[in-house]
Every structure is written in C-alpha cells, then in structure tokens.
Amino acid sequence: NAGLAIGVDGSPRPGGFVRLSAAWTSVVWEKACSSERTSGNILEIAPTTRLLYRYDGASIRDLASAWTALPVSVTIVVAGQTVTKETYDAAWRIGVALERAGKRTVVKSLPSPGDEIDLTGVVVPEALRSIPAFRDLAAGGRRKIADPAEIGALWILGASAAQAQVAIADQELRSTVNAALAALASQVDAAAPDAGAALAQWRSAAMTVADEPLEPGGVRLMRLSGQPLIAVAPDAGATAAGLFDSLWRKIAVTKSVVVRSANEIAGEASSVSLTRLGGATGFDVLERGDWTATFDLGALASDGRLPARLELDVSAAPGASTTPPVASVFLNDSLLGAKRLDANGQAERIAVGVPSYALKPRNVLRVSFQRQAAGEHCRETPQAYPVAVLPTSRLLLEKASEADDFAGVVPRLAGSATLILPDTWLAKAPDTLPTAIRIADAAGLSPTRASFAASPAATPVKPGGPFLSLDVPVEGAPAKTRVEGDRLIIAGRDSAHLLNVTGLDGLGAISVARGGNAPGLLYSTIGSRSASFGAPFVLAGGDVAVLGSQGVLAQIDTRDPFGNRPAGGDRKTWIQEVWGNAAWSGSAGAAGLLLLIVLRARHVRRRQSGDPH
C-alpha cells in the first residue's frame, strides 16, 4: 500500500485547481539498451482518492467565489411542493447550468410541518432545551416536524435537512422563512426573554434570505443558516445561468447584481477559433501530453450551424529520438484522426471531419502528443521538448443536416428550442425537477436560449420549433413509443411491435419525433414513479431509448435495428437514391454518345483521306 495523506496549504489558486501528480519509477540494476519496464510493476491510483477541503463560509463575499465554492452535490431549494411557473422555469435552468459545470443537483422544498427529517448528528445544547422547539428536537433519530418553530430551530442548529446552496427566492419562500423565524422568536420570548436580542442578532447575520425581495433579474449572495446561499429571482433563471457561464462568471465580484442579459457569444460565423475555447497554447512533452478544450454545443449552434470540420495547426520541436512524434485528435474520447509530425518547429495542419455522433451537449476536445523518448544509458538522458497548438486552429461550422435520430436532433436543441412539460409537474416540483433537469441536460437544451411551456398533460401541443416534450403529446407526431401505465410499446417498421411489455415502473421512454416541420424529442414516464437518474447520460445513436436510474438501459434505431444505416442520418432518401441513379445513368449515356461522335468523326476523316482502314 503506497497510500499517502498529503497536506495542502490554504493559499488561493487563481486557476481554481490543485494539481496532483504521481511519479512511479523503479530501480533496474542492469544497464541495458532494452526496455527497463518489468512485469508486475504497477501503481494503481484507486478511485477512492479524494480531496478533503474546508473553508470559512464568512470569507465568501461575492457571487463568483460562492459559485466556485459550491460542492459536487448542490442543493436547490424552492418554497414548497407546489411552485409557480416562473420559479419552476428558473430552477430547471439553474439546474442544467450546474450539471454542465460538473455538479449534481438535488432539489428540495423548505421544511414544513409534517415532513419527516433525520436528526442524526444534530446536537442541541443544554441551554436551549428550555425552549419547546429545541427540546423536541433533542431526542434525535427520525422525527416529523410539529410546527414552524421547529423549522427555525433546525436552521439555528445547522441541520443538514434545512441546508441549501442555491435558492429560487420568490415571495412564498421569503414568507415561509419569516413565519418560521417569527414562531421561534415567540417561543424564545416566552421561555427565555433575555435571549431575544441574541436571536435577532443571529437572524440578521445568518438568515439574510428573508431580507427584502430581489429586484427583477436579481442574483444576490445571501445567508441560509449561516452558510453562503446564491439567491436567484424567479424571472432571472436564464440570465443567471448565462452569468455563471465560464465566459462571464469571474466578473461577478460583488454580492448582488441585476442581470438584464448574459448570453453566449454567437452569430453566423462559419468558423470558431480554438483560442476562444481555452487551453494552454504550448507545453513540454517527454512521452505524452494532452491539450484539452471544453465547449458547450449551444454556444455554437444558435443559428443552426454545427461543428463539421476541425483545422488544427500544431508545431513540435525536434527531439533526441529519430522517431517522429504523433498527434492524435479526440472529441469526447472518439478518435477523429492522427498524424506523424515532422517536428521541425514549423506549423503543421491536421484537418479532420467532425461526425455528428461525436457531438454532445458538453464537448471535450483533446489533442494528445506522444513522443518516443530516447533510451537512458545508451543515449541521451530523456528530456521533454515543446509542442504547441497554434492560435490559427479553428472549428469550421456548417448548417446541420436534417436527421431523424438522436445524433441529428440533439444538436438542433442547443439553439432556440422549447421545453414542454405538464402543468401538473409544478404541483410536485421537488420530485419532477430532477427529471426535467437531467433530460434537458442530456438533450442539449441551452439554459439561456430555450423557452419554457407548461400545458395540460392530455392536450397535444404544436411546437413552432425544435422541442423537448416531457409527458405531453405533440400534435402530428407519429408515436415510435407508446406508454399505457406500466406498459411500454415500441413500434417497428411494419405492424409488428419491437417490444410490448407490462409491469414496468420507475422508467422512462424517449424517442425522436417531428411535430410538423419541427424536430424534437418525446419523453414518457413508465409506471407510477418518475425515473430517478443517478448519473449523467448521453443520447448517442438510434431514435428510441429506455431510461432508468443507471441512465440509458436500452437504445435502438427502429428504422434500422441491425445498425446498417450510417451514423448521423447520412443515409439517402429513396428520392435521393432514384435521382442519383438517374444522374448516373444520364452521365453514362452522355459519355457513350460522346464516344460514338468521336468514332464517327474518325471514320469520316479516314474516308476523306483515302485510307481503307
């Protein structure tokens, strides 16, 4: 066991990262030109490796720092089980923005009387047990909240059941917080009048979420139970999601802002420079080094254009080894192309196509440089030599082609699409919001550009553009999947069904659909329970998928179950095939006619010249 506990000092990291490197070498006593790698010499970095950190919540004084300090699992709090359309809209947008930032969102409502909570770890000081709300919580274990005063006591005690990092701060949330604190203050005044001033002082410093309402479009750093809380106005979901994007986040060095607009840079440009996507320009490589850049598809697909080709300009310095280095290009771990470099310090271009199946809502472009290091003892000591990804590198964009599979539809949802869900989902927001957030993230909806609609569940809707519809039928869209309670039916190409099964619960079915001329996705809940997605998932190929707690459980192309259709919907339609055959036949006929004319002309010339042949 080579495990270590390494101390990390508390100095600020401007880049926001602490880098951990492991150098594993072995001692080989025999000096030889052969490889010194010996069998059984392996160092494994276990997945339990983790960074333990803490910080003083009082030191978080601006929105940018509060966003950076968010934990991996972020709790979004709403006022209650039933919320307004504006609050629901803001919550799903902030949730998708958090998911795209690598977080996992949990949605909770404020505690209310009748809720059962876990009091494990909650310690009630003896001096507070004379107050009824604290005395009732001292027993620990699981307990149902009896009255609003106990909710106020939970906040004072710092109970995890009453904690959150982000809040959609509407009027109902403020009223609920104020009512709970007022009920607790009434008990304190009756049981310990001298403690009233201390409670008021604590409230003014640790519960600012109950202060004056946010302005329209407002985002403010507040406090909930003494901890930092990012409070978002109900009408500021889209603008707040844009503000916390990597482009604008660092400018939020204040406690409160009013965001009128915060959009991604978009336009009708036919190319995007890779310098806009980030990543270090040059670095040294001994054996292998990676250059990476991350970008949201929504930042490029606003006008229907998608990455179609990558022109990568790189350069590498020569090394001691005569073996040329290799540069390999990956998009979301899909190998797009590779090239042996001349390594003469000059710019070299690698041009590769970008297939639609490789694109995701959140994309990671990686360029891996690999060198053959010179052997020790027999040649020079191995040294690292510089390589660079030049600023002239760019992504070429083209209009997205029409396609009726996930690879063709998901990129189209990154622009001006619509999220449609039943208005009944607003009555059980903590349960339905995680589903809406996870599917919207997988479908590539932009939290800043997408629109939102809540409609009656049984009434078909007619979207005017790309859409993601959750449990709402779309007018004119043929159903590739049909859900009847716990029964799932997947249609085939003929009258027979690919699947017809009952007894399912807690799953979801999603399929590609077309409402009129608008492409989109239809999602249906299977059974009585909503699907609980434990991890992010990606809709890659096919046109129908069954989803569960583990993500995509089954995925198929109902048009081509055996996978003979080219990925990304590049198969020609029958009209295109007929036209192509006709064009080929016409070309062949024209070529034959031209040959006959040439032979006839030669025959005429020979007769005029008197040549019998």
| Successive 10-residue mean pLDDT values, the chain, 613 residues | 85 73 67 55 82 84 91 94 96 94 92 90 88 88 91 92 93 94 93 89 90 91 93 94 85 89 67 75 85 79 76 91 91 93 93 86 89 65 85 85 78 87 94 94 90 87 90 85 90 78 92 85 91 82 88 84 56 41 50 62 61 54
> In this structure, how many other beta carbons lie within 10 angstroms of the beta carbon of residue 185?
17
Q: What is the DSSP string of 379-447?
A: SPPP--EEEEE-TT-EEEEEEPPP-SSHHHHGGGGGSS-EEEEEGGGGGGHHHHHHHHHHHHHHHT--T
Q: Given this model, what pLDDT does residue 458 score?
A: 75
Taking the alpha carbons of 23, 25, 31, 37 in that order, is the dihedral positive or negative?
negative
- Residue 32 has a pLDDT of 55
Q: Which residues are CB-contacts of 190 (< 8 A; sequence separation ≥ 6)?
A: none
Q: Give the pLDDT of residue 589.
A: 58
490/546 Cα distance (integer angstroms)? 10
Residue 317: its pLDDT value, please? Answer: 92
pLDDT for res 497: 82
pLDDT score of 480: 86
pTM for this structure? Answer: 0.80
CA–CA distance, 416 with 301 (Å, rounded to integer): 9
User: Contact 93/233 with Cβ under 8 angstroms?
Assistant: no
pLDDT at 169: 94
Q: What is the pLDDT of residue 12?
A: 73
Give the per-residue pLDDT at 8.
Answer: 87
pLDDT of amino acid 538: 84
CA nearest neighbour of 525 among 483, 464, 477, 582: 483
The size of the chain, in residues, is 613
pLDDT at 570: 45
The whole-number pLDDT of residue 54 equals: 81
